[in-house]
A and B are shown apart, each in its own frame.
Chain A
Amino acid sequence: DGGITQSPKYLFRKEGQNVTLSCEQNLNHDAMYWYRQDPGQGLRLIYYSQIVNDFQKGDIAEGYSVSREKKESFPLTVTSAQKNPTAFYLCASSIQGAAYEQYFGPGTRLTVT
């Protein structure tokens, strides 16, 4: 089955630790995205990548970092500089030139205490 996988579904960390969230897709999509969602709110874009070895900041990139070494993978690191890291994180991908139709993964719920 083609799709996007995110792991783990739930993640718990202590404050001050960096944590990396996994996102893998086998849809052969060029573009990939990371969003953050807080309770009762819409999604906000953190980073996106249109091609391997290239990525751009979204609306709330501070405290986050990404890499895109392979087409299939777009990991997100939540650093200790992110002041409110507890949130639901969603990864998505799309065909190049069709960003309007994004395919989303199941999400990772990160809790930092």
Chain B
Amino acid sequence: DAKTTQPTSMDCAEGRAANLPCNHSTISGNEYVYWYRQIHSQGPQYIIHGLKNNETNEMASLIITEDRKSSTLILPHATLRDTAVYYCIVRVEETSGSRLTFGEGTQLTVNP
């Protein structure tokens, strides 16, 4: 699986958009980008994933650059409850179950 690089921490004002970057310059053509988040002392929660097109769901938007070497997770109107560690994961969408490799992620702090 391709390696990802994320900033260690970020801050965002409540109500503003939070833009979390992820670099994955060695991504392969069949690898997807996945985002999870983990609120303190809880289990991680799946947010969104994509291959090359931008994706949006009720939680967030995922913007993938045309060369697919980086992506940005956007929380359009951050709330205090969005304070969490956000993990960017790149892997093949395999048909058989296997591991997710979680790095250290980005600690997002939403401030009032």
Contacts and interface: CB of A to CB of B under 8 A. Distances in A.
Contacts of A50: 96-97
Contacts of A97: 94-97
Interface size of A as a range: 20 to 34
15 contacts: A4-B43, A35-B102, A42-B102, A45-B101, A48-B99, A58-B99, A92-B43, A97-B95, A99-B97, A100-B100, A102-B46, A102-B100, A104-B45, A106-B42, A107-B41
Nearest to A59: B99
The dominant DSSP class at the B interface is loop
Interface string B91-107: 10111111111111100
Report the interface size class on chain B.
Answer: 20 to 34
B46 A99 contact: no
B2 to A, nearest CB: 14
Contacts of A45: 99-101
B102 A100 contact: no
A59 B105 CA distance: 19
B93 A100 contact: yes
Contacts of A107: 41-43
Contacts of B34: 100
